[in-house]
Amino acid sequence: MEKRTTVLIALMILGALLIAEAALAAPSAPVSISNGGSSRRDLGTLPGVTVDAQAGNVTQINITALAITKSWQGYYGNVSGTITLDTANNKTFYNWSMTSAKGQIYAARVAAPDFTTVNCTTAGAITTEETALGQTATDSDSVANTFTGTANPQFYVGSVDIPANTCKTTNAFGSTGAQSSDFYQVLLSDTNGSGNIIYTTLMNGTKAGFDGNNWDFELLVGQDGHTGGSTTTPYYFFVELA
């Protein structure tokens, strides 16, 4: 009887380990997302700048201008959540309130990216994404000209290890502008880096963001606005708490 009990316990432990491994295989959709509103700069409110003209003169003028990107959408905000120990039928054995936002947020234009085959985005996938976003290689705000670094920290996507300094990376701005220590933006794709683009950001655990307020994350995603109008694209969000 004791031997049988030992075998049953061993099988239960093995089953629990297999379930835990399956749970680590992919990030999950968030329980909910609340929209705090959007805004954009209105360049039409800038007053005209005058330059005096005088007959007979030839004058050099150097102009500094602003243009709103036609290739990117920005998201930012805070994350709250619970780390839980549940059964397969959602019965909670124990849980822990999250004290600091750590982990990753992912956004993709497909409903079910294959997180088990995720890897750093390849050059070919970047070219394909630029075409999808209506970009050319000479655009200042193209994907390749935005994600110019490879200084990503090491992290896991489920059970997939993303080593440090391997993926195309940039950093969203902090309270003093451009910076390189927080709000990491990392380009991932499924199918070993050659498939669907997965825009990824690493959560910071509340840092001063682009507007001086504290945020857990900032995330850049591609959006084609070159044809004008107010065309929107649905992005599917996934979150992984660490």
Q: What is the pLDDT of residues 55-73, one digit of tens each?
A: 999 999 998 888 888 999 9
How far apart CA 211 and CA 134 sit, in angstroms, is 29
Instruction: Answer whether residue 221 is part of any domain.
Output: yes
| Neighbouring-strand partners of residue 104 | 202, 240
DSSP helix/strand/coil, 45: helix
What is residue 143's DSSP assignment?
Answer: H
Instruction: Answer whether residue 119 is part of any domain.
Output: yes
162: part of which helix (H) or strand (E)? strand 160-162
pTM attached to this predicted model? 0.84
How far apart CA 38 and CA 88 sit, in angstroms, is 38
Instruction: Answer whether residue 22 is part of any domain.
Output: no
Q: Which pLDDT band, with edges at 50, 70 and 90, does 17 fall under?
A: very low
For 146, the token pair is 């935005």
Instruction: Answer whether residue 100 is part of any domain.
Output: yes
What percentage of the chain carries pLDDT values higher than 90? 66
Q: Report CA Rg, the chain.
A: 23
pLDDT at 229: 64
Number of domains in the chain: 1
Greater pLDDT, 180 or 204: 180
CB 147 within 8 A of CB 220: no
Show the beta-strand stretches assigned E in 183-233.
Answer: 184-189, 197-202, 207-208, 214-215, 217-222
**Residue 228: Cβ within 10 Å count:** 7
pLDDT at 10: 38
DSSP helix/strand/coil, 198: strand
10-24, 93-107, 203-217, range with the lowest pLDDT = 10-24
| Neighbouring-strand partners of residue 221 | 73
Q: Which residues span the domain enclosing 186?
A: 71-241
Residue 93 has pLDDT above 60, yes or no: yes
Instruction: Answer whether residue 159 is part of any domain.
Output: yes
Instruction: Answer whether residue 43 is part of any domain.
Output: no
Instruction: Answer whether residue 1 is part of any domain.
Output: no
Instruction: Answer whether residue 15 is part of any domain.
Output: no
